[in-house]
Structure 1
Amino acid sequence: MEDKWSWRWIGVTAVAPVSWGATYWVTREFLPADSPLWGAALRALPAGILLLAFARRRPIGSAWWRAAVLGALNFGGFFVLVYVAAQLLPTSLAASIMALAPVALAGLGWMLLGARPTGAALTGAALGIIGVVLVVGLATTVVDPRGVAVSLTALAMSSLGAVLTTRWREDAPIMASTAWQLTMGGLMLLAAAVVVEGAPPPMTAPSLLAFSFVAVVATAVAFLCWFAGLRRLAPATVGTVGLLNPVTGIALGTLVAGETLTALQLAGAALVLVGIAVGRRESRPRPRPALLRRADARPDCVTR
């Protein structure tokens, strides 16, 4: 039963990095390249409003400032930094840096949660990182140090947000907490977009469809699955599953854009899957606390 639940939550969690991998192609092909703040705001805020309509809960007490902190880490700054890094660095190098997520999550999870990673989790993370490096290749152009700094900052923000989400997991149900974070982060991005970029970019039918995908599928649904995995799997295991992000991006590039994968890249994709299989041995299904089973017993949220 334990193994069954472990794989089930790994499958749920995998929805997130797979959809994020698809976002690379959608953003590049259909979304405005010169409006990163508006692009991030139109991704986060509609997703937050959509989830709020279903969650029908509002934060009270400490949940307000926690939602603001997590919204800034998981959505606000992170969405913009990833966009900027993609403009400054070759895709292969940017993806390779973000592939360090398992190491960052395992280290922060150990420091902040006391979740010491097992040998299996560390081995799985190492195999996954090697696999991603093989898939995306190595940079062959001049590397902009600003891009490296921005990408590392994005990685640190995302990893810290993920670990803090795990640490505060009992404060609210998943849908409500995700909605609060997205809305808070989206409002921050909206204010920054108006001040810095002015009017929103013009919309076309393809861009509207693209924004719908990134807001609903790659944000609302994806982060629900991601946070669900963070509540039930070890941080190192979740980080290893996240390696499906760049692998998905490469796969879509091959299928849609006609790119060709070498034998080493195919071997790297297989190695990522092996790393996930090895690293998931650290996962343990966490029983749901009574506070999460009774809506009327939650001290940090209230039904409207």
Structure 2
Amino acid sequence: MSTPIVDPMKIRSKMRVDEIVNEFNHAGVFNAGRIADAVTIFDEMLKSDACKFLGLSGALVPAGLGCMIANMITDGLVDVLVTTGANIVHDVINALGQGHKKGSIHADDTRLREEGISRIYDVYLECEAFMAFERFVHQFFDTLDDGRYPVSRLLWLLGEHVAPGSGSILRAAYESDVPVFMPAFSDSMLGLHAWICTQERDILIDSVADIGKIVTLTSDNRSHGALILGGGVPKNFILQSMLISPSGGFDYGIQITMDRPETGGLSGATLDEAKSWAKMREGAKTVTVYSDVTIALPIILAAVYSLQG
């Protein structure tokens, strides 16, 4: 069998991130090789002017990735955003100046509860942060007229109310006219307070309407690519849009996940598996990177920015 050899990585002092990724590419194996593949596919996705879908799940904003993702939107690396409710909640909390704090995985959680602190692994968030979020959401709903609001429309209006210059994902999407979809809207603190705010109002929040909107975005004459961080509902909402789209599947797919395919769960399923569902084209360029998003994404982005010049 004639195949390329594994070229050992050569690391030296003061290397740039893109140079390190180039060494990943020379070796070409394990997850270092997959990160190099992700950079290549993402770069091609950008240069082909594909419509770029970004899926966010997991505690990415509490982990410190919020500004990075907002910059991706501002810099034109994202055309469509699909996210869990939690990331939007924490994004707004950051924008309100109620930042997340470094904590400990060895904390006494009963004591934290007594002190009004919620823990997300080794990140702390004080009760006042959620109170500030609650006030913001209730004030926002006071500005709305009665009527029907698709979730993406509601999020666009909410983004308008977030302070500019706050590093907010939602604000960046509003300013860049990037649609934001939250298919599990009710499964979040935003959904909880939306329910409270609409009990005595004639306001209907319509989640189903966004299916038609995202299908339209996959049905144009452009190529289409997806960068999926984690998995879950955002991953499925992005990929299922191709089931009734004439496009025939995504042309590019990058997934960063810690989940495995052997259990049959969607979050660990490979993007090659999605070809059997016609969610990815037969010849689609895909890669799954098995890594913590907080490690892999900054490396991939730094290398892609370098290639973009």
**TM-score when normalising by structure 1:** 0.25
Structure with greater proportional helix content: 1
Structure with greater proportional strand content: 2
**TM-score when normalising by structure 2:** 0.24
Structure with higher Rg: it is 2
